[in-house]
Amino acid sequence: MQENGWESLRSGITLDQIQKAAKMSGYPLQTEVATLLNSMGFDVQDEWSYLDQNSAQPRTIDIRANIQLRNLPSEESRIRPHLTLIIECKKSDMPYVFFRNNPRIALEFPFIFGLSNKWVQVETDDDRSTWKFSVSEVLGMDDHSFVTNALCSSIFSKCVRRGKEVELSGSEAYSSTVFPLVSAVQHFERMCTPPKTAFWFDARLTICLAVLDAPMISIDPTAGEGEASPVPWVRVLRNEPSDKPRILAEQGKVWAIDFVHKDYLGDYLKNHAIPYAEMFAEKACYHDQVLGSMQGFVKGLGAGRWDVIKNEVEPLSILIGPSSRIPVGSLANLNLRAKMMIKEMNLNSSRRKRSR
């Protein structure tokens, strides 16, 4: 029987070889992850396209998954919260090795995109100063266990074979996993930038994920020669240079990427990431006027009551429409500023009289 053209294989390639290559490529893992996310209500985009910031060339990341956390009518809240996952899947027989540490660095995790600014400017009634707080600080999310309890590593590598020996290669792990994830999330951040005239905002809590079908080994350098143990989840912190002039610009930007084993992904999402995102949604909708204007008011902040920021922040004013605004905390602040201006005028007047 003559074989049809689409059934014939050439160049000595067999179906078994193709199946083996497909299995090692990571595509079955990508499908498995996408299926899990679909079952949890995420909208999944496979092979999500982005523009690389350095080369300006189009590239793809394995998965972008999104779920709207609260389907609120626009008149109830100015904020529509989402959880977005940017995911790269990797399969390997060789282990990934993470050197455990807890670096004391300023960390933006998770990312929150889609608002008009990254910082909320806060005023008070007992000081003329203004302060800037991150959205996480304002919402009281920065001390949540999902942020504080993760095992962290700023140095990680992948085992590679060199003849009969096994070596660690940091460059391979970085170029194949970290670099594409960072580039993809940079593009996503630019995509989420709202217009200056925006009144409602899609606030997207965004997490970078590397899902591994590979052994994950943690090494504690402080334990003698280094205690090694298998782990299902590690938060990798990577420093990238910043091209924006700012205070301490030499520190650059720290990116956080959660490396999660595929067998632990369901637990990671159900017991850690999604509960944190649901808390974010509740607090973001409650403080929608603060996040909508990125301005807030806290009584007594000038006295150093930093602990009250997450519990007592109020909107500086309430915007009830694109051009209708009702002052709130700003009234007390304006009274304070007026009193201080009068005090300064009286003081300057007294100085001039003494100088005569």
pLDDT digits (tens, 9 = 90+) for 207-255: 999 999 999 999 987 776 668 899 999 999 987 766 655 544 445 678 8
The per-residue pLDDT for 224 is 63
pLDDT at 56 over 60: yes
Q: Give the global pTM.
A: 0.81
Give the residue carrying structure tokens 């201080």: 340
The per-residue pLDDT for 244 is 59
Cβ atoms 188, 59 nearer than 8 A? no
Chain mean position to CA 247: 22
The per-residue pLDDT for 334 is 45
The per-residue pLDDT for 101 is 82
pLDDT at 89 over 90: yes
Q: How far apart are CA 214 and CA 92, in angstroms?
A: 5
Q: Establish whether the linkage from the previous residue to 73 is cis, with ω within 30° of 0.
A: no
Q: What percent of the chain has pLDDT over 90?
A: 44
pLDDT digits (tens, 9 = 90+) for 246-296: 544 445 678 899 999 999 999 999 999 999 999 999 999 999 999 999 998
pLDDT digits (tens, 9 = 90+) for 14-32: 767 666 666 665 569 999 9
Q: How confident is the model at residue 166 (pLDDT cuts 50, 70, 90)?
A: confident
The per-residue pLDDT for 238 is 84
**Least confident among 125-129, 271-275, 334-338:** 334-338
Q: How far apart are CA 178 and CA 176, in angstroms?
A: 7
pLDDT, greater one: 308 or 199:
199
pLDDT digits (tens, 9 = 90+) for 171-206: 777 888 999 999 999 999 999 999 999 999 999 999
Q: What is the mean pLDDT of the chain?
A: 81
The per-residue pLDDT for 48 is 96
The per-residue pLDDT for 187 is 95
- In this prediction, residues 28-51 reach a mean pLDDT of 95
